[in-house]
Amino acid sequence: MIGHQPDMEVTGAVIDPIQLLRTVSKTIVDVVIVTPLKSNGEPKICHYLLLEYPLLIVVTQSANGEAVHLYQSDVIKIRLDDPSWQSILGAIREAYGRSSIKSTS
């Protein structure tokens, strides 16, 4: 779905967390989407990424697709009640708007 959005581009997909860290460090990305191994687990990698890249937006989606959370600046955690792609895309756009405002301040 993301690749079909005119204002978004998929820059890659990785499975290994170490490879994810390497890829993020070498690539200019605004959003990382992570699927945790546990359906209710909060990936520790989220906090690391947000500490290293404070303007990054991290979206986690459980393996079963029922739970979606959006993390921003290691303080903002939003649970999306509607885990549909439309809701996820809207939340990403809204969070990106917040981070754009912060980066110009």
Domain boundaries, the chain: 31-77
Residue 88 burial (CB count, 10 A): 19
Checking if the pLDDT of 40 tops 70, the result is no
For the stretch 35-67, what's the b/e string if a residue is b when 16 or more beta carbons lie within 10 angstroms of its beta carbon?
ebeeeeeebebbeebbeebeebbbbbbbeeeeb
Checking if the pLDDT of 49 tops 50, the result is yes
- The whole-model pTM stands at 0.80
Q: How confident is the model at residue 91 (pLDDT cuts 50, 70, 90)?
A: very high
Checking if the pLDDT of 33 tops 70, the result is yes
For residue 39, what are its two tokens? 């359906």
Q: How confident is the model at residue 39 (pLDDT cuts 50, 70, 90)?
A: low
